Structure 1
């Protein structure tokens, strides 16, 4: 079509110059009002579509930055706790880092994908209007897509899993997670790989497509659980009261008390063996603070049991010896 248009515009050797100019202008006007106009409309519609899609992407990323899941809207929205959870997320530095990274990653991927898809469609439609046969391009794209699908299944799986993981906010930077292959603190979240640092300092690179299940230990809230094994013949009611008092002291502690939520639950006789009875203290805490609260609980429980002369399992003889040493020390007069 381009060649025919050029032939109609270019003058022939024996043509009348005035007629050539008239015919060329008429042919050019016909092309501009036909394919030219359609090309202009395609470009304008493509630009407008890209602008609209980018606006939608911006709205999505801003929604992610607010700290709520995209899937928790409409009928999927939780019945309670949404406002409280959003307020807690906004004041958490770790949550802010997570939201920023999620928004940046998803926004970049969606913008790139939208630009490539819309740009490719516009180019193909423009080529079709100027007379280029686009069937080979479409067939080639189909062949490349099939080859890519077969040759990069794991890669595509990793990217799709990473995208849905970000959209659902399963975990983020700073969370302590258990993904089966590795356990530790999340240091980086990408569409293909998540980096996890374990307790030994090893940095694990875990492909997102290999995560069959994810356990997040620092999202929403957590429990500090302390099991106490006391002597078989200890007074369980007395021990129960001592554990309740120890938990109350931890809740009033100025360092870890702010992380304590609610009242601790103490259950008796969780386990019974030939030499011990197990009691359990469960204290709800703020996310990622359960370990600090658990350490404070253990120290408080130890002090409470020692003050009340209640031996732990297998420590009755050690407690008697400790009492004798303490009595001898207290009974020794000062040298001065």
Structure 2
């Protein structure tokens, strides 16, 4: 039979453990409620679904971290109440943690990178990005990976640990850069004026005009190509996902306008030079098989 002192010690230990568990549950519930309230307040001010999704993912991450920390603290306190030294357990856990860390370092790297990608708002769901040499529309983003769908419809799962640089093609606005070549004999000023006219026509269009944030910007002559003078302009597009549609529509209209004005869009030309003799005369350049036989 237990003596009175032993019963008293047992009840004291049991009550201490129960108190620790109750406090842990209360602290966890309060922390989760605060995180949820903060998340909902930020989501109400979010201006797009992608940002709301990012905030939801970060909220889940913080809730998980809080739960793990509270469980570790509560477990340590319970072991102390039971008279079990925590130091040897921590030492063994440290050795095991090092071994697990080496074995799962790529997985840990994925989670760390994913956390900072979300925290710094580098990628949002619904954006078009270039990561790890792969470009596409972001369909989903987790702490482990980013899921992309490319133009051909292929789905790519990119681990966050492999993302070292992010090229975001659809953040805030986009510039649709358009390069057009005209023949050397054409008047550059006339060709640029036609580009401006097409830009004004596109902006006045009720379907495409709302996607233009500003007038067409003429950059000018970009270079002298092998067979053309290359002109450059650009369109500021909002929303940025429409940049490819707007670029295709502008090029279609510009082709019609150049054809109507008789402005030549050249194709590559090849000039064959047979050389000349030392006395300045040119050797005969024989061509056979090109003319129909008489």
Number of the residue aligned with 1:271: 223
Residues 263 and 283 in structure 1, CA contact (< 8 A), matched pair in contact too: yes
1:165 lines up with 2:123 in the alignment: no
Which residue of structure 1 aligns with residue 233 of structure 2? 281
Whether contact under 8 Å (1:172, 1:186) holds in the other structure is yes
Please state how far the C-alpha of 1:274 moved relative to its aligned partner: 4.1
Deviations 1:315-334 (A, max 9, x none): 99xxxxxxxxxxxxxxxxxx
Equivalent position of 1:176 in the other structure: 128
Q: Does 1:302 align with 2:280?
A: no
Residues in 2 aligned to 1:145 and 1:131: alpha-carbon distance in whole angstroms: 24
The alpha carbon displacement at 1:166 in A equals 1.2
SS at match of 1:305: helix
RMSD: 2.6
- Tell me by how many angstroms 1:136 deviates: 3.4
Q: Distance in 1 between matches of 2:164 and 2:42?
A: 24
- 2-structure distance, mates of 1:249, 1:262: 13
Does the CA contact (< 8 Å) of 1:256 and 1:292 recur in 2? Answer: no
Alignment of 1:180-219 (within 5 A): 180-219=132-171
Match of 1:136 among 88, 100, 103: 88
- Check the 8 A contact 2:203/2:210 in 1, yes or no: yes
1:8 aligns with 2:6: no
CA contact (8 A) 2:16 2:81 kept: yes
Would you say the 8 A contact 1:66–1:99 is kept in 2? no
Instruction: Give the Cα–Cα distance (whole angstroms) in 1 for the partners of residues 228 and 152 of structure 2.
Output: 33
Contact 1:269/1:278, CA 8 A, preserved across alignment = yes
SS in 2 for 1:288: helix
1:49 aligns with 2:27: yes
Note closer, same or farther for the CA distance 1:205–1:262 as it changes in structure 2 (3 Å cut).
same
Comparing 245-254 and 114-123, the one that deviates more:
114-123
Shift of the 312–139 alpha-carbon distance from structure 1 to 2, 3 Å rule, reads same
More helix by share: 1
Report deviation, 1:129: 1.1
Shift of 1:210: 0.5
TM-score by length of 2: 0.81
**What is the CA–CA distance in structure 1 between the aligned matches of 2:175 and 2:26, rounded to whole Å?**
51
- CA distance in 1 between counterparts of 2:268 and 2:134 reads 37
TM, length-normalised to structure 1: 0.72
User: Judging changes above 3 Å, is the alpha-carbon distance between structure 1 residues 315 and 251 closer, same or farther for their aligned structure 2 residues?
Assistant: farther
Moved more, 200-209 or 137-146: 137-146
Instruction: Give secondary structure in 1 for the equivalent of 2:206.
Output: coil
Runs of at least 5 residues in structure 2 that lack an aligned partner in the other structure = 270-294
**Unpaired stretches in structure 1, ≥5 consecutive residues:** 1-5, 10-22, 68-85, 317-336
Following the alignment from structure 2 to structure 1, what is the Cα–Cα distance between the partners of residues 85 and 219?
Answer: 77
Cross-structure match for 2:272: none
Kindly indicate whether residue 244 of structure 2 is the aligned counterpart of residue 291 of structure 1: yes
Q: How far apart are the structure 1 equivalents of 2:133 and 2:220?
A: 35
- C-alpha separation between the residues in 2 aligned to 1:144 and 1:64? 39
Number of aligned residue pairs: 268
